[in-house]
Amino acid sequence: MPKEINESMQLWGGRFSQETNPIMSEFNRSFPDGKLMYREDLQGTAAYVLALHTAGILTADELQEINRGLEVILTEWESGSFQEKSGDEDIHTANERRLTEIVGKVGGKVHTGRSRNDQVSTDVRLYARKHLLLARQYLKDLITCLVHRARDEIDVLMPGYTHLQRAQPIRWAHLLSSYATQLTDDLQRLEMVLNITNRCPLGAGALAGNPYQIDRQLLADQLGFAQVIGNSLMVVGDRGFVTDSLYWGFSVASHLSRMAEDLILYSTAEFGFVKLSDAYSTGSSLMPQKKNPDSLELLRGKCGRLFGNLAGFMMTVKGLPSTYNKDLAEDKRALFDTLATIQNSLQISTGVFSTLSINTGKMRSALSTDMLATDLADYLVRKGVPFRECHNIVGRVVNAADELKYSGIDILSLEELKAIDDRFLEDVHIVFDFESSVEKKSARGGTARSAVIEQLDFIESKIADL
Residues with active-site annotation: 163, 284
DSSP string, 170-208: EEHHHHHHHHHHHHHHHHHHHHHHHHHHSEE-TT-TTTT
Q: How far apart are the first and last CA of the chain?
A: 61
- For residues 92 and 40, is the Cβ–Cβ distance under 8 A? no
CA distances 142 to 126, 135, 433, 458, Å, are 25, 11, 33, 16
User: Residue length, the chain?
Assistant: 466
DSSP string, 151-180: HHTTT-EEEEEETTEEEEEEEHHHHHHHHH
HSE, CB side, 13 Å, CA atoms: give it for residue 139. 34
Say which residues have a Cβ less than 8 Å from residue 111's Cβ, sequence separation at least 6: 11, 96
For residue 400, give the amino acid letter. A
Say how far residue 232 (Cα) sits from the centre of its chain: 30
- How many angstroms separate the CA atoms of 104 and 273, rounded? 68
